[in-house]
């Protein structure tokens, strides 16, 4: 019974948060070749849903070169095209992870941070950009 | 048959080296010194000891799994585990086989100092840090040597938290045992700029980082008071930079769908993205392409004390190698 009450309250909390969220979307770039980006992936996948945060995942464009990694880290044996040509040219794919705020109008991804940072700090960065979370 | 085996192995090595050279090196003045198969646990990021004896490699696993870093021994091409509470970015103190590893765990385990000198690689797993700084809380650390005497080294560690910080330590060796003490407490580094992924030069005077205001990489001169002066602005964000030991050159990788063909950049044959190595010369402000792979990726170049350069090469067939180049005749 206590469990049911907890789940119910959690759902209400999530609905309340969703109503407050100004539809900010976080884009997160990651690579199985970079350990901190895997840690950041864990952070977002575990904590993100509680904030009803919409996340777009951007994968390493070199992914086809991962033949030597463990099976659990293998991805499709083809290059990822998640980064745009412009983003690659600007150098955003030279570091993992990267945190970006997706512009709702232009869909352009504005860089918030390169390199791992705590999920709390990601939330702070989003709030500084006007996202209500 | 056995008589010809060494010859066969020698010629196979030669073919392998030639193939890598022909395909990948931008100039005939660049010489391949050695190629090492990355057995075991290749990861993108690594850092070499000054003498190229060891490469420090990330764990490559999530924090919910084991707490190990990995040390690649270039003499036998084997990878040995080092027990830590941090998974990532094991870096060497220049001119030593001492390492600094930051922890991604909560306090009290933060900046850890390890001594690999006079240790057999099989025993790395048993090594305890000779010093743990429980006050420093950050990551992406890099280390400069401010002063070095026979049994005493003054080092500066910079690391990233909300922004960058620096902290100086005195390391002392007595009866072959190292100890450490804080020499100068933590201070902001370059707090007048907002950047990430900063790496300090070997003597501590410069930092290369990714400027989060202009969205380009930049080189900063670090002043004694912790403020910085920007001295070089790139027009793009580079991979993590590595200063040469005289601080004249900075090596980095760039991912691109274009590759150097000797006179300019042309699209890769497949149209795919490749990683290649470049060296920026601070004296001439020139950026020199070092590799021209059209498939796979060369990443995370690191200068060694003798001026050679080592990088990790992910071949398109999935094999991974560490390659050491002598670029001195080309870049000087």
On chain A, the residues whose CB falls within 8 A of the CB of B255 are 61-62, 88, 91, 93-94
Minimal Cα–Cα distance from B215 to chain A, Å? 8
Minimal Cα–Cα distance from B257 to chain A, Å? 8
On chain B, the residues whose CB falls within 8 A of the CB of A94 are 237-239, 252-255
What is the per-residue pLDDT for B215?
Answer: 92
What is the per-residue pLDDT for B3?
Answer: 43
- Cβ distance A88 to B60 less than 8 Å, yes or no, reads no
pLDDT digits (tens, 9 = 90+) for A52-111: 889 999 988 887 644 444 444 444 345 788 899 999 999 999 999 999 999 988 999 999
Q: Does B162 have pLDDT greater than 70? A: yes
pLDDT digits (tens, 9 = 90+) for B93-136: 999 999 999 876 655 568 999 999 989 999 999 999 999 998 88
What is the per-residue pLDDT for B67?
Answer: 72
Is residue A122 reached through a cis peptide bond, with omega within 30 degrees of 0 on the bond before it? no
pLDDT (average), residues B234-243: 96
Give the Cα separation of B93 and B56 in Å (integer).
Answer: 11
What is the per-residue pLDDT for B7?
Answer: 39
Q: Does A13 have pLDDT greater than 60? A: no
Please report which confidence band the pLDDT of residue A4 belongs to, taking 50, 70 and 90 as the band edges: low
pLDDT (average), residues A28-32: 90
Lowest mean pLDDT among A102-106, B72-76, B201-205, B244-248: A102-106
Give the Cα separation of B25 and B43 in Å (integer).
Answer: 22
Q: If DSSP codes are grouped into helix, strand and coil, which group holds residue B331?
A: helix
Please provide the DSSP assignment of B234-281 as one string: -SS--SS-EE-TTSSEEEEEEEESEEE-SSSEEE-TTS--EEEEEEEE
A75 or B200: which carries more pLDDT confidence? B200
Q: Of the candidates A65, A88, A89, which has its C-beta nearest B296's C-beta?
A: A65
Interface test with B, best of A68, A83, A93, A108 (most B CBs within 10 A): A68
Lowest mean pLDDT among A44-58, B50-64, B216-230, B237-251: B50-64
On chain A, the residues whose CB falls within 8 A of the CB of B88 are 35-36, 39
- Cβ distance B215 to A111 less than 8 Å, yes or no, reads yes
Please report which confidence band the pLDDT of residue B305 belongs to, taking 50, 70 and 90 as the band edges: very high
pLDDT (average), residues A35-59: 87
Average pLDDT, chain B: 88
| Strand B297-303, strand B309-314: pairing | antiparallel
- Cβ distance B210 to A95 less than 8 Å, yes or no, reads yes
- Cβ distance A62 to B255 less than 8 Å, yes or no, reads yes
Q: Of the candidates A38, A94, A114, which has its C-beta nearest B62's C-beta?
A: A38
For A79, which residue in chain B has the nearest alpha carbon? Answer: B272
For B67: left if phi > 0, alpha if psi spans -120 to 50, otherwise beta; the answer is beta
What is the per-residue pLDDT for B318?
Answer: 72
């Amino acid at each position: 019974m206590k469990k049911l009450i907890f789940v119910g309250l959690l759902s209400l909390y999530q609905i309340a948060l969703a109503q407050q969220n100004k539809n900010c979307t976080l884009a997160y770039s990651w690579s199985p070749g970079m350990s901190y980006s895997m840690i950041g992936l864990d952070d977002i996948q575990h904590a993100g849903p509680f904030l009803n945060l919409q996340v777009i995942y951007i994968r390493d464009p070199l992914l086809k070169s991962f033949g030597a990694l463990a099976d659990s880290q293998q991805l499709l044996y083809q290059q990822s095209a998640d980064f745009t040509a412009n983003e690659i040219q600007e150098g955003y794919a030279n570091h993992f992870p990267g945190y970006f705020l997706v512009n709702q109008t232009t869909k352009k991804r504005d860089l918030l941070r390169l390199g791992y940072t705590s999920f709390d700090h990601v939330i702070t960065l989003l709030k500084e950009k006007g996202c209500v979370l | 048959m056995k008589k010809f085996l060494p010859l066969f192995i020698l010629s196979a090595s030669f073919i392998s080296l030639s193939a890598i050279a022909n395909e990948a090196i931008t100039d005939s003045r660049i010489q391949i010194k050695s190629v090492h198969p990355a057995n075991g646990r290749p990861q993108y990021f690594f850092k070499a000891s000054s003498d190229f004896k060891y490469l420090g490699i990330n764990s490559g696993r999530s924090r919910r799994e084991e707490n190990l870093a990995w040390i690649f021994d270039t003499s036998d091409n084997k990878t040995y585990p080092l027990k830590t509470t941090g998974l990532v970015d094991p870096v060497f103190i220049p001119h030593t086989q001492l390492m600094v590893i930051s922890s991604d765990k909560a306090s009290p385990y933060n900046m850890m100092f390890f001594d690999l000198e006079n240790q057999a690689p099989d025993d790395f797993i048993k090594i305890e840090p000779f010093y743990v700084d429980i006050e420093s809380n950050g990551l992406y650390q890099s280390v400069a040597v401010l002063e070095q005497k026979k049994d005493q080294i003054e080092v500066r560690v910079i690391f990233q938290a909300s922004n960058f910080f620096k902290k100086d330590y005195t390391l002392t060796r007595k009866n072959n045992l190292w100890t450490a003490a804080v020499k100068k407490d933590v201070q902001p580094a370059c707090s007048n700029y907002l950047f990430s992924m900063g790496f300090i030069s070997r003597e501590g005077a410069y930092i290369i980082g990714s400027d989060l205001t202009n969205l380009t990489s930049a080189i900063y001169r670090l002043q004694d008071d912790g403020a910085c002066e920007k001295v070089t602005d790139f027009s793009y964000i580079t991979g993590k930079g590595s200063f040469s030991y005289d601080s004249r050159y900075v090596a980095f990788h760039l991912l691109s769908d274009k590759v150097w063909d000797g006179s300019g950049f042309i699209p890769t044959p497949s149209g795919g993205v490749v990683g290649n190595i470049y060296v920026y010369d601070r004296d001439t402000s020139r950026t020199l392409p070092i590799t021209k792979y059209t498939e796979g990726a060369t990443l995370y170049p690191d200068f060694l004390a003798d001026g050679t350069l080592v990088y990790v090469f992910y071949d398109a067939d999935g094999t991974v190698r560490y390659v050491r180049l002598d670029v001195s005749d080309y870049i000087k």
